[in-house]
Homo-oligomer: A and B are copies of this chain.
């Protein structure tokens, strides 16, 4: 792979509001804890809309969500990720003009995301209205080694300007979430959720503490500036730092001068801490600020680069022959890394930490679309993501109880701390498959890592409580185990009976509880203790086994497919070929009740089940299902095309696999869904990774081995990827042979010997060994 495939830049871009909004997302800086939108330090001109935000993963307040009609136990408020403080503002005034890209003229304008170094930059030569010129070089970083740190490294170099240079820097403690006066719904939700607690300056440090209105969480931010001219300290020294109590902000002003060739460099260290992680956020912020200043920028940059070197070394994904695709894939993996909470009390918001879309909530997106990437490349992060779910089991039990269940746990459809935050239950709370999704991810992690300790301590309890819920929600009817009135992944059909995907998930969940139970019962003492701790009755697992065996998986003899649910096929087929292109996405143009009455899918549903649970159906059925659903799926959800790509790969439909993968991989970087301004589509990013590794690569984690069966798209030269399996790192390299077919080399890079299966040939590989084969 060319080194610069991980350097994404845009040059001479247009300054439209739309493009600036998109760039705020694309060039955001985040590290799983902290996320800062790619706003401009100097702001946008008056009247241009911007979503200016700094977010801490899982830092939230309660927002009212009144229901139009009162029904028992409906959710009437929700958690919402807050914009916590604004430390981004830096303004540079030269002569009579404050720097802005909309004043004077910009030359060599360029924004860059350097994924090898983990920084974003903005560089340009600015021709001032007065006629002189200066160069700007602005770097931003959210540090992976010091997660509380966001840093701005701002350099102004005079080309031919001589005169005054004024620096204004702000640190604002009261900020609001994004609101748009044209959308009263959003405006209503951007209330005053942050309250001032304390603010002060301590030497050259600005410290602000705010508290949320109803959850009483505290956030502290500590900011320090270091300013040099041509490498020599200017501040601390000159300059004036003042805390304004009324507005709860700190204002820094300094005036100096520039002559041609001079470089003024402003380093702004911004530390964010919060009371969900720290008992004393303010003290903690000051200590961390002191620590990072002690290190200094060069060490911090170095740490960032080393961290990313290791990350890229572990993923090792590269596509030869489609540069744009390859770069998009790098971006997607990078964005996933930026998004993932790794502290066990957070997960991955649907939009990562790149924006406020979906209120920073965690959905099934994490487990089904993003966690697989981490399981294969950073299992320690995957485990943390599962631990987050383990820690919210009490809330999930409570949620089940609120919904009338007598046992088990039901995970919320969308949440931050574990309580249900979905306002429209028919396509929210009713999506019980979330339980099966989490169970699937637990098993996937276990298969990838063999981490028995995790399973014994946390994983099994998740599986068990989820399985208990299936036993409570389901019932036997005509010798089948039924699950009625739930909603599958496809939200264009709601509250149906025996959704194929849901029932597959439930069956798999129940099977794995029984499988682990069977295995662990041999360890009598451990099993006895476990039964005691988890209150497992002797008849419980046998009942689950029977439910799994008798699980209704709908099948239609005529079509030879799995209908999406019991009654899906009795509805008329929506004719997508006659639908006005302006009417997509359908959910914005048709009321739910109308959509529910047609065979039309927002996203992969049965097809997703075919990917995840291929053993439940013959390949013939899967092929027919794929063909059937492809015709009625709109892909209005961003979670759809990646799944179609994977299953197309499985079925040998190579052209389709590549076509769908392209949509998935380039969604954000190319803004193909026209809404990346609100934030990245994090799940789709994981999906595009799976489309390569699990789709093209055919990788499957199995109980006794990992198997692969890659194929190479015609237009590509090759592709390769690394993955971690049971602690060992392996690399698959797929190359075009001189005769135009492909050849795969699977090599053990490091670790203990593991059993692999390439194109159906099984072998145990030790470190340094490899096998090479070609598809049939």
A interface, CB within 8 angstroms of B:
65-76, 185, 188, 402-405, 422-426, 428-430, 473, 475, 477-478, 482, 484-485, 494-495, 497, 566-567, 569-572, 587-597
Contacts and interface: CB of A to CB of B under 8 A. Distances in A.
A68 B424 contact: yes
A66 B66 contact: yes
Nearest to A74: B591
Contacts of A69: 422-424, 428
Contacts of A567: 484, 497, 566-567
In the complex, the count of this chain's copies comes to: 2
Contacts of A485: 571, 593, 596-597
Contact of A592 (B72, B405, B475): B72
Contacts of A588: 72
Contacts of A597: 473, 484-485
A569 to B, nearest CB: 8
Contacts of A71: 424, 587, 591-592
Contacts of A76: 68
Nearest to A425: B593
Tell me the dominant secondary structure on chain A's binding face. Answer: loop
Nearest to A183: B70
Q: Which 7 A-B pairs have the closest CB atoms?
A: A68-B423, A404-B594, A69-B424, A69-B423, A73-B591, A475-B572, A477-B570
A568 to B, nearest CB: 10
A708 to B, nearest CB: 42
A488 to B, nearest CB: 15
Contacts of A424: 67-69, 71
A356 to B, nearest CB: 15
A571 B485 CA distance: 9
Given A68-B76, A72-B589, A485-B597, 14 more contacts: A65-B68, A69-B428, A71-B587, A72-B592, A402-B591, A403-B591, A404-B594, A426-B426, A426-B495, A430-B593, A477-B570, A485-B571, A494-B495, A495-B593
Nearest to A594: B404
A484 B423 CA distance: 25
B484 A70 contact: no
21 contacts: A66-B68, A67-B423, A68-B75, A68-B76, A68-B423, A71-B592, A72-B591, A72-B592, A73-B591, A404-B594, A405-B594, A426-B426, A430-B593, A477-B571, A482-B570, A485-B571, A485-B593, A485-B596, A495-B495, A495-B593, A497-B570
Contacts of A185: 66, 70
A235 B374 CA distance: 89
Contacts of A429: 593
Given A495-B494, A591-B404, A570 B66 contact: no
Contacts of A494: 495
A497 B567 CA distance: 8
A722 B148 CA distance: 84
Nearest to A570: B477
A478 B570 CA distance: 8
A66 B428 CA distance: 18
A590 B485 CA distance: 15
A67 B423 CA distance: 8
B475 A571 contact: yes
A171 B551 CA distance: 69
A75 B592 CA distance: 12
Contact of A587 (B72, B422, B430): B72
Given A477-B570, A495-B596, A596-B495, A590 B404 contact: yes
A590 B72 contact: yes
Contacts of A65: 68
Nearest to A587: B72
Nearest to A423: B68
Contacts of A67: 67-68, 423-424
Contacts of A74: 68, 591
Q: Considering residues A70, A76, A402, A473, which has the most beta carbons from chain B within 10 angstroms of its beta carbon?
A: A70
Q: Considering residues A76, A477, A592, which has the most beta carbons from chain B within 10 angstroms of its beta carbon?
A: A592
